[in-house]
């Protein structure tokens, strides 16, 4: 069955933290939403709201997650500025997001929250608990509501606005972070994508940026490489996120390809070069 491409746009109704790495006491955020985080958010929302279909009973996180992975595919979602996505891209003057330099982007969209735990014995700050959480702010420096969005691919009928009008994405959700509200969901421009195969695929030409983590093997590009590891929960929910996925060495989003290459969008959102 062929895939259908849609474009989704959400407003941030709270700070958004996408776990990246830690620098001192600062827990940094990624500046975009990876497909893997979207898969988790959609699985959680469908399960909590009573979604079911053939061979997928209500309330079964595992099977609903497998259904989402099989029948939904996600591009990475980026911040939008006046309706245009701020795609990352490495150039001669370093990394830019749309027309913004990395520093301009950070001043416009990022903020941080400092917190600490209290020691009940002394009612003062607990030693070693002070930390700072970086986040994408719900309003930019001009006071406008921050929006994020990107590609969604479906090969089954799913009333997306009815089921997924609100999403909770990323980390720090128990503190109210990561609340997104749908603004628009419509069929997108599929001129770049090939949608009649087993998975969606896209061709990148020399000088075009990669818009997701991309396996480095057999890909000539300029940019940054990092190992990509995810966390999974199996069986016992008390061991939330305790299982690590195998590391994949990837070009990070924004790296620029140097030769024509076609990529397949894998179930975990990573782009894989076609042989």
pLDDT of residue 24: 83
pLDDT of residue 130: 73
Compute the C-alpha angle 84/9/181, nearest 5°.
140
Residue 131, pLDDT above cutoff 90:
no
pLDDT of residue 208: 96
Residue 206, pLDDT above cutoff 90:
yes
pLDDT in tens, 237-263: 566 666 777 889 999 999 999 999 999
pLDDT of residue 174: 82
Report the alpha-carbon distance of residue 230 to residue 60 in Å, rounded: 21
**What dihedral do alpha carbons 136, 139, 142, 147 form, nearest 10°?**
80
Residue 34, pLDDT above cutoff 90:
yes
Instruction: Kindly report which listed range (54-58, 77-81, 108-112) carries the lowest average pLDDT score.
Output: 54-58
Report the alpha-carbon distance of residue 81 to residue 94 in Å, rounded: 20
To the nearest whole number, what is the mean pLDDT of the chain? 91
pLDDT band at 172; cut points 50, 70, 90: confident
Residue 138, pLDDT above cutoff 70:
yes
């Amino acid at each position: 069955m062929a895939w259908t491409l849609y474009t989704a746009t959400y407003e941030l109704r709270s700070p958004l933290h996408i776990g990246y790495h830690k620098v001192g006491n600062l827990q940094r955020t990624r500046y975009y939403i990876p497909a893997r985080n979207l898969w988790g958010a959609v699985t959680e929302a469908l399960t909590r709201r009573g979604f079911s279909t053939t061979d997928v009973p209500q309330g079964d996180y595992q099977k609903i997650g497998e259904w989402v992975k099989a029948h939904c595919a996600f591009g990475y979602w980026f911040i939008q500025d006046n309706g245009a996505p701020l795609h990352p891209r490495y150039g001669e003057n370093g990394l830019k997001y749309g027309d913004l330099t990395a520093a301009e982007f950070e001043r416009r969209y990022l903020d941080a929250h400092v917190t600490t735990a209290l020691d009940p014995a002394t009612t003062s700050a607990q030693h070693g608990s002070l930390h700072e959480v970086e986040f994408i702010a719900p309003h930019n420096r001009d006071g406008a509501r921050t929006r994020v969005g990107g590609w969604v691919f479906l090969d089954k009928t799913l009333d997306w606005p009815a089921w997924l009008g609100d999403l909770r994405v990323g980390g720090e959700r128990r503190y109210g972070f990561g609340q997104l509200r749908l603004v628009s969901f419509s069929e997108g421009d599929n001129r770049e994508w090939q949608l009649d195969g087993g998975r969606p695929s896209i061709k990148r030409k020399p000088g075009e940026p990669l818009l997701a983590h991309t396996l480095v093997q057999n890909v000539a590009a300029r940019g940054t490489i990092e190992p990509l590891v995810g966390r999974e929960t199996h069986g016992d929910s008390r061991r939330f996120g305790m299982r690590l996925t195998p590391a994949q060495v990837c070009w990070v989003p924004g790296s620029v390809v140097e030769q024509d290459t076609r990529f397949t969008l894998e179930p975990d959102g990573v782009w894989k070069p076609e042989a």
